């Protein structure tokens, strides 16, 4: 018995007519024999979950650099929250949960160390610029090793969702749209939670009108936002919030940019972090042989600057710091 076919039939019977059915995927760049058990999107989810780049997210900053305490979000916990919010919305709308989960788990897999501070400095010093969504696609397409060699050979729909989870371009599937909106719901709310914990802002600083409409507690806001998305997207060809909730969600986001993301106290270590990345970038341009051989082998194919960028972007926060200390700080004689 081919269990995958049972799941595919269940999708045909139970999912909305607007859902992206796994049997109708546009496919992979390289054709592969199908799995007996898992659908194509389930396979993609598993490939992302088992990727080394995914595991490194646990040591990559979300907002606060090198936070003291175990309860601050990392890039990994953010990713898990996005995936879960996405699945909740997809299930209620009878869309493809496996596709949303795969996109959600992979959307930030190419993010830099030190959060958006790292992204900002790489975008400045790398000749072709840097965007984490484009790097996430490069990770799954090329940098990670899969069963066929370089790249995980994911389906078109998952790759499209990863690339278009941020920015002006819209994903080609409703499941991708869910992840794009879930990403915003997740980071606005958990960054408020972390900012209050870090004493960067106080609860009383939050805009009162936003709290009135969206909710006063972390869970209440997330719940109201999710319910609003479901109510306004059910049996429709577009994933959206109501105009009222969208206005106040964006107002809350603007508050976070002004008071947290660009706050000098919250970003007090940003200049140091960016300096470290800039120094390492220059160092490996001059001494590429100091990179792992796996990266050195790709220089001829992709160019030195591109591979140095890949190497730096793939580092975890702690690896960056340790590598900088190893290169620039003299060892103590024993």
Mean pLDDT check: name the lowest of 59-73, 106-120, 199-213: 59-73
Nearest-5° Cα angle at 86, 82 to 87: 120
Q: What is the pLDDT of residue 148?
A: 79
Measured in degrees and rounded to the nearest 5, phi and psi for residue 319 equal -70, -40
Q: What is the pLDDT of residue 66?
A: 59
| 1: confidence class by pLDDT, cuts 50, 70, 90 | low
The per-residue pLDDT for range 98-151, each reduced to its tens digit, is 999 999 999 999 999 998 889 999 999 999 999 999 999 999 999 999 887 889
Distance between CA atoms of residues 118 and 109, nearest Å: 14
Mean of pLDDT over the chain: 93
The per-residue pLDDT for range 230-242, each reduced to its tens digit, is 999 999 999 999 9
Percentage of the chain modeled with pLDDT above 70: 95
Q: What is the pLDDT of residue 49?
A: 97
Residue 11 has pLDDT above 60, yes or no: yes
The per-residue pLDDT for range 178-187, each reduced to its tens digit, is 999 999 999 9
Contacts 24+ apart (CB under 8 A), 26-33: 26/155, 26/156, 26/157, 27/155, 27/156, 28/153, 28/154, 28/155, 28/156, 29/141, 29/151, 29/153, 30/148, 30/153, 32/148, 32/153
Query: For the residues of 202-230, what is the DSSP string, one character each?
Result: -GGGS-HHHHHHH-SSHHHHHHHHHHHHH
Alpha-carbon dihedral angle through residues 198, 202, 207, 210, given to the nearest 10 degrees: 60
Distance between CA atoms of residues 9 and 15, nearest Å: 10
Does 333 or 263 have the greater pLDDT score?
A: 263
41-112+122-261 — its CATH code? 1.10.3210.10
CB 53 within 8 Å of CB 314 = yes
Its pTM surpasses 0.75: yes
**Tokens representing residue 231 in the block:** 């109510």
State the distance between the two ends of the chain, measured CA to CA, in whole angstroms. 65
Alpha-carbon dihedral angle through residues 136, 142, 145, 146, given to the nearest 10 degrees: 90
Q: Where are the domains of the chain?
A: 41-112+122-261, 270-328
User: HSE on the CB side for 167, CA within 13 Å?
Assistant: 14
Residue 67 has pLDDT above 60, yes or no: no
């Amino acid at each position: 018995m081919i269990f995958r076919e049972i799941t595919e039939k269940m999708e045909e019977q139970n999912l909305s007519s607007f859902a992206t059915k796994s049997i109708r995927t546009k496919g992979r760049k390289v054709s592969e024999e199908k799995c007996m058990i898992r659908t194509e999107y389930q396979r993609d989810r598993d490939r992302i979950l088992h990727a080394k780049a995914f595991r490194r997210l646990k040591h990559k900053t979300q907002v606060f650099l090198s936070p003291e305490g175990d309860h601050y979000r990392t890039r990994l916990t953010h990713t898990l929250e996005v995936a879960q919010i996405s699945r909740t919305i997809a299930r209620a709308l009878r869309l493809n949960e496996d596709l949303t989960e795969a996109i959600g788990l992979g959307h930030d897999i190419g993010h830099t160390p030190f959060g958006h501070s790292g992204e900002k400095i790489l975008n400045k010093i790398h000749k072709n610029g840097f965007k984490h969504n484009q790097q996430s696609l490069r990770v799954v397409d090329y940098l990670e090793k899969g069963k066929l060699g370089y790249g995980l050979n994911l389906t078109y729909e998952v790759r499209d969702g990863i690339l278009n989870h941020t920015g002006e371009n819209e994903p080609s599937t409703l499941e991708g749209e869910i992840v794009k909106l879930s990403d915003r719901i997740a980071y606005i709310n958990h960054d408020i939670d972390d900012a209050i914990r870090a004493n960067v802002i106080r609860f009383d600083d939050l805009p009162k009108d936003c709290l009135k409409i969206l909710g006063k507690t972390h869970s209440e806001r997330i719940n109201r936002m999710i319910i609003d998305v479901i109510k306004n997207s059910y049996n429709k060809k577009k994933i959206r919030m109501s105009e009222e909730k969208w206005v106040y969600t964006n107002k809350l986001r603007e508050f976070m940019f002004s008071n947290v993301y660009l706050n000098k106290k919250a970003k007090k270590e940003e200049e140091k972090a960016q300096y470290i990345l800039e120094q390492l970038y220059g160092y490996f341009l001059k001494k590429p042989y100091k990179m792992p051989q796996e990266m050195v082998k790709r220089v001829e194919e992709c160019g030195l600057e591109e591979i140095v960028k890949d190497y730096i972007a793939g580092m975890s926060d702690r690896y960056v710091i340790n590598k900088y200390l190893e290169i620039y700080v003299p060892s103590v004689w024993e």
